[in-house]
Chains A and B, each alone.
Chain A
Amino acid sequence: MTPRVRKFALTAHVISSVGWLGAIAVFLALSVAGLTIRDAQMVRAAYLAMELTAWSVLVPLALASLLSGLVQSLGTPWGLFQHYWVLVKLLLTMLATIVLLMYTQTISYTAGLAAESADLRELRNPSPALHAGAALLVLLVTTTLAVYKPRGRTPYGWRKQHEQAVSQP
């Protein structure tokens, strides 16, 4: 990648990743509101807003973060499997995206209950808050990895480095 393209890709990755983190914080606030607020209309509104947030913000940003991360690692000398921090970040991002895509079905189901004036006892559920809390933790770890870039090459990374050293005496 040329420096200009690399900067653009990095900007896209930072925006999507940090945006995803912020959207999860919003989702967590909504899920806590759904558990604690007494007003029935507000509780239903919280669960409906959770579905909207999930489909229109969380899923697009998660996919954008994963995709732009792949482009960044493959388009720079870091590589995808050469450094432990890149590998760990990739695995965590993939895990968070897969769980999110699966969990959207539960979110939609709960929003359906909220739209149909179901019993609040049936509606209130700690699951969204637990999932959002775990997701927030995972993304805080990935962000920290991205900033600190802890050292350590994978065995594959060492082989690649050795091959490059041999080919460029």
Chain B
Amino acid sequence: MTDSPPDPDARADTRAGPGRGLTTSTPRWVKVFGIIALVLILLVVVMLLIGGGSHGPGRHTPSGDAGGRTPPTSVTEGHTPPDGHRR
């Protein structure tokens, strides 16, 4: 949604005030965002480790051949994917 092409930063990030000078540093919201992202990534990694690595792309493959969940044989033998939904 990158509407109204502009230069919004011309005012804000070049604030020249007493003892301030030209501010071209990383905005606070980006730093906060980065910290939250880092915490979430660590949380996911810890959850994956606790779960014994049973999550990930391999888990999403029906055959489970990438080290993930293997569906019961009775299920895999008879399962025919619905038409038009295969890649």
Residues of A within 8 A of B (CB): 10, 13-14, 17, 51, 55, 69, 72-73, 76-78, 83-84, 86, 88, 102-103, 105-106, 108-109, 111-113, 115-116, 118, 122, 143, 146-147, 149-153, 157-158, 161
- B8 close to chain A: CB less than 8 A: yes
Q: Which B residues are within 8 Å of any A CB, using their own CB?
A: 1-3, 5-9, 12-13, 24, 26-27, 29-30, 33, 57, 59-62, 71-72, 75, 78-82, 85
Determine if B5 and A102 form an interchain contact, defined as CB atoms under 8 angstroms apart. Answer: no
Instruction: Decide: B2 and A72 in contact? CB cutoff 8 A.
Output: yes
When C-beta atoms are compared, the residue in chain A nearest to B28 turns out to be: A152
Chain A positions within 8 Å of B3 at CB level: 10, 72, 76
Question: B6 contacts which chain A residues (CB < 8 A)?
Answer: 77-78
Given known contacts A106-B60, A112-B75, A151-B12, A77 and B81 CB-to-CB distance under 8 angstroms: no
> How near does chain A come to B64, taking the closest CB pair, in angstroms?
9
Is A151 a contact partner of B5 (Cβ separation < 8 A)? Answer: no
Residue pair A109, B9 in contact (C-beta under 8 Å): no
A-B contact count (CB 8 A): 89
A151 and B7: CB pair below 8 A? no
Give the distance in Å from the alpha carbon of A102 to the alpha carbon of B2 in the complex. 28
- Decide: A152 and B1 in contact? CB cutoff 8 A: no
Q: Which residues of chain A come closer than 8 Å to B7, judged between CB atoms?
A: 77, 161
Residue in chain B with minimal CB distance to A76: B5
A82 to chain B, nearest CB (A): 9
Chain A residue at minimal CB-CB distance from B78: A116
Cross-chain contact B24 with A115 (CB below 8 angstroms)? no
**Complex-state Cα separation, A146 to B3, whole angstroms:** 9
B78 proximity list for chain A (CB < 8 A):
116
Q: How far is the CA of A124 from the CA of B65 in the complex (A)?
A: 22
The reply to whether B27 and A84 contact each other, CB–CB distance below 8 Å, is yes
Nearest chain A CB to B36 CB, angstrom units:
10
A88 contact set on B, CB distance < 8 A: 30, 33
Q: How far, in Å, is B47 (CB) from chain A's closest CB?
A: 10
